[in-house]
Amino acid sequence: MREQKQWGGQDEASQVIEQQRLAALDMQSIHYIDKDNAKFSLTEGGFVRMEFRGKTCERIAVHRCFPFTQPDDFLSIRDEEGNELGIIHHLSDLSKEDQELLTRQMALRYFLPKIQKVNSVKDEYGYSYWDVVTDKGACRFTCSNHNAVAKLSETRLVIEDIHGNRYEIEDIYKLTPKEIKKIDLYI
């Protein structure tokens, strides 16, 4: 038949299908990483290298699955292209040195300053201008008056400024009443 010739036979076609089936299967299963099956090392350039399942990735990215609720559990390790290599169930599954290495790597990837002190919030024409002290130092930022604040819980807030930087208030009741009054209008 004419098509038979074009496809180069049923065999090759089924090979392609088989490949894709395996890829799909691999995508669906969880590969846990722990101190026995993976090796981490710091690269000269300040990134982290990982050897796992016979492959070496020169620059891994650590993605937190639950960045707000369980920052040290379920860490998805991905390669430069963003494909998942494996998951670390608990950070404590790794050796002390590796834990430190990955913690530093996560600090590189996640930037979410925690607001500790509110100096002032000024409101002008639909935007609020904040002057605060965070755990990363003092800073000023600007928010739109619409949808800038996301409530993680009744007391925990994440505020997003116009550039997309985010700031966390871990517990609003840890702020002084005066500070709460300043931000009251926005939360």
Distance CA(106)–CA(108), nearest Å, equals 5
Distance CA(173)–CA(184), nearest Å, equals 12
Residue 45 touching another protein (CB under 8 A)? yes
Does residue 43 come out as left (phi exceeding 0), alpha (psi in the -120 to 50 range) or beta? beta
Residue 138 touching another protein (CB under 8 A)? yes
Residue of 55, 96, 163, 178 that binds another protein (CB under 8 A): 163
Q: Which residues have a Cβ under 8 Å from the Cβ of 19 and sit 6 or more positions away?
A: none
**Six-digit token string for 132:** 């605060």
**Which C-beta is closer to another protein: that of 32 or that of 122?**
122
**Which C-beta is closer to another protein: that of 95 or that of 142?**
142
CA distances from 148 to 157, 177, 187 (A): 10, 22, 9
Residue 164 touching another protein (CB under 8 A)? yes
**Which C-beta is closer to another protein: that of 95 or that of 165?**
165
Min CB(98)–another protein separation in Å: 19
Instruction: Give the footprint of another protein on this chain (CB under 8 A).
Output: 1-4, 6-8, 10, 12-14, 16-17, 20, 43-47, 58-59, 67, 107-113, 124-127, 129, 134, 136-139, 142, 144, 161-166, 184-185
